[in-house]
Chains A and B, each alone.
Chain A
Amino acid sequence: AQKVTQAQTEISVVEKEDVTLDCVYETRDTTYYLFWYKQPPSGELVFLIRRNSFDEQNEISGRYSWNFQKSTSSFNFTITASQVVDSAVYFCALSDAFSGGYNKLIFGAGTRLAVHP
């Protein structure tokens, strides 16, 4: 069955620290998509990245980077030199062909990141 686990409920760091948010997923499919979304205190959901299962290259976008490892079923998200504006809840999500033909999106419970000045 599909499942996404974000074991870290809350993380608190001081500005400029690096922080990694963990995401572990379960799927029986060989073809699937992984996503990260950000929910700042204002409440909206902002798309960060989509990765398909055949692309194992790590991604870097400014201070953000993602490490996709199929061997450990993980898709971790690292923020380098964190800033107060990074404070948000971050969600990892999965869709695969087995469950509803990519129509179902399964979210993890989210990790709340607090970055203190």
Chain B
Amino acid sequence: EAQVTQNPRYLITVTGKKLTVTCSQNMNHEYMSWYRQDPGLGLRQIYYSMNVEVTDKGDVPEGYKVSRKEKRNFPLILESPSPNQTSLYFCASSLVSNQPQHFGDGTRLSIL
């Protein structure tokens, strides 16, 4: 089954404790992206990747890092999480950037 898998689905943690949200897709897609969803703001793009080793900032990249060492994986790293990063996060992938994106089920992060 074609899918984008995110882990964990839920996480409560404390300020400053490094965390990684994993994202994996099994569709051999070149393009992957991370979004955060906040009430009243819709989805905002954090980082995207056009292919292996090619990443770039979206609209809200501060406080986040990403890497794309393999085509299928695109982890989101919060080196020193802060409460303003409490949000619902989605990973997505598509064949290329202007194609419809397949979204993961989301990761709800709470930073205390």
A positions within 8 Å CB-CB of B: 4, 6, 9, 33, 35, 37, 43-45, 47, 50, 91, 93, 95, 100-110
CB of B8, distance to nearest CB on chain A (Å): 15
- Asked if B56 and A108 make an inter-chain contact with CB atoms under 8 angstroms apart, the answer reads no
Residue from the set B44, B59, B102 with the largest chain A CB neighbour count within 10 Å: B59
Instruction: Please judge, given known A-B contacts A101-B97, A107-B43, A109-B41, whether A45 and B56 are in contact too, CB under 8 Å.
Output: no
The prevalent SS among residues of A at the interface is loop
| Interface positions of B from 21 to 66, Cβ below 8 Å from A | 31, 33, 35, 40-45, 48, 50, 56, 58-59
The prevalent SS among residues of B at the interface is strand
| Interface positions of B from 57 to 82, Cβ below 8 Å from A | 58-59
Query: In the bound complex, how far is the Cα of B43 from the Cα of A100, in angstroms?
Result: 17
Query: In the bound complex, how far is the Cα of B101 from the Cα of A100, in angstroms?
Result: 16
Q: Look across to chain B and name the residue whose beta carbon is closest to the beta carbon of A101.
A: B97
Query: In the bound complex, how far is the Cα of B11 from the Cα of A25, in angstroms?
Result: 35
- Asked if B50 and A103 make an inter-chain contact with CB atoms under 8 angstroms apart, the answer reads yes
Sort A-B residue pairs by CB-CB distance and give the 8 closest, nearest first: A45-B103, A107-B42, A102-B98, A47-B100, A107-B43, A109-B42, A103-B97, A102-B97
Binary interface encoding of chain B residues 84-100 relative to chain A, with 1 for a CB under 8 A from any of its CBs, else 0? 00001010100001111
